[in-house]
Amino acid sequence: MYKMPSAEKRYPNYFHLTDEVIDQLHKWIDLGHKPEPNTALDVVRLAFAIRAFNLYRSITLLLKTDHWEDAAILTRSMFELLLNIEEIQRDDARAESKARKFLLFEKLQQYLHARANHQYNIKTGRVSSSESELDRVDRAAEALFRTFRLRTKKGETKWQSSWCGKNVRELFKASDQPIRMHQHEILYSYMSAFAHSAPLSVMTSVRLKHPLEDFDKLQLEHDAQEETQLKLITYLSTGFVLEIILRVRDILPDYDVKWNFRILTRLFVFYGVKPPPSPV
Q: Do 220 and 81 sit in the same domain of this protein?
A: yes
**Binning pLDDT at 50, 70 and 90, where does residue 118 land?**
confident
Asked whether the beta carbons of 40 and 100 are under 8 A apart, the reply is yes
Query: Quick one: average pLDDT of 99-124?
Result: 93
- Domain coverage including residue 122: 95-159
| Range 241-268 burial, b when 16+ CB lie within 10 A, else e | bbbbbebbbebbeebeeebbbebbebbe
Instruction: Output the CA torsion sign for 136, 138, 143, 145.
Output: positive
Share of the chain above pLDDT 70, in %: 91
- Other Cβ atoms less than 10 A from the Cβ of 63: the count is 27
Residue 164 in any domain: the answer is no
**Binning pLDDT at 50, 70 and 90, where does residue 1 land?**
very low
- Is pLDDT of 253 > 60? yes
Q: Do 60 and 102 sit in the same domain of this protein?
A: no
Residue 228 in any domain: the answer is yes
**Binning pLDDT at 50, 70 and 90, where does residue 234 land?**
very high
Residue 182 in any domain: the answer is no
Q: What pLDDT digit, counting tens, does each position of 173-204 carry? A: 999 998 898 888 887 778 888 888 888 878 87
Q: Degrees (nearest 5) of the Cα angle 40, 41, 44?
A: 85
Burial (0-12, 13-18, 19+ Cβ within 10 Å), 48: buried
Q: H or E segment at 157? A: strand 157-159
Structurally, the chain folds into a number of domains equal to 2
**Binning pLDDT at 50, 70 and 90, where does residue 210 land?**
low
Q: Do 220 and 264 sit in the same domain of this protein?
A: yes
d(CA 247, CA 238): 14
Q: Do 101 and 69 sit in the same domain of this protein?
A: no
Q: What pLDDT digit, counting tens, does each position of 81-96 carry? A: 999 999 999 999 999 9
Asked whether the beta carbons of 195 and 73 are under 8 A apart, the reply is yes
- Is pLDDT of 278 > 90? no
Q: Do 85 and 22 sit in the same domain of this protein?
A: yes
Q: Do 17 and 60 sit in the same domain of this protein?
A: yes
φ, ψ (nearest 5 deg) of residue 127: -140, 160
Residue 244 in any domain: the answer is yes
Residue 178 in any domain: the answer is no
Percent helix, strand and coil across the chain, each to the nearest 5? 70, 0, 25
Residue 191 in any domain: the answer is no
Q: Do 67 and 122 sit in the same domain of this protein?
A: no
Residue 218 in any domain: the answer is yes
- If one compares 193 and 260, the residue with the highest pLDDT of the two is 260
Q: Do 82 and 15 sit in the same domain of this protein?
A: yes
